[in-house]
Amino acid sequence: MKKIFIFIFAISMIGVSSASSVEQYVNSVEKITANYAQDMRGFLRSLDPQLSRFSPEQQAKFCGITNQYVQDLYQAIERNRSSLTGQYATMTKQDVINQVAESKEMQMLKKYNIQCNFN
């Protein structure tokens, strides 16, 4: 009987640990997204509203901010992969890049013909 209680306790602790990791992942993603939004807002505010093309420096800055976002998101997945389920558990870095590239924000900036190489 004692072994059964120990087993049940151990299983419940694994569940708590897993939930904790998922919560850590969610908190990480929220922090990463907030930092990205702040950096991107600052960058976009620095642009001339009449701008029709990014200068090489502006493109480098934009791509740097976006690349950091991709890196941070993927690191959060890697740190918590064992606790994630569904599509998040199997996401590759290329999947993260594709999600960012297909986001509404990136689609709005297509008119500027920005080409970022994510690594």
**pLDDT tens track for 53-87:** 889 999 999 999 999 999 999 999 999 988 888 88
Model confidence over 28-46: pLDDT tens digits? 999 999 999 999 999 989 9
Burial class for 29, CB neighbours closer than 10 Å (0-12, 13-18, 19+)? middle
pLDDT over 50 (residue 7): no
Report residue 59 CA to chain centroid gap.
Answer: 20
Each domain of the chain, given as residue ranges in start order, spans 2-112
Single out the residue of 75, 88, 72, 76 nearest to residue 37, CA to CA: 72
- Rounded CA-CA distance 63/60 in Å is 5
Query: 3-state class of 67 per DSSP?
Result: helix
pLDDT at residue 30, as a whole number: 93
Token readout for 65 is: 């901010």
pLDDT at residue 52, as a whole number: 84
Of 15-19, 47-51, 70-74, 98-102, which range is least confident? 15-19
Residue 9: pLDDT band with limits 50, 70, 90: very low
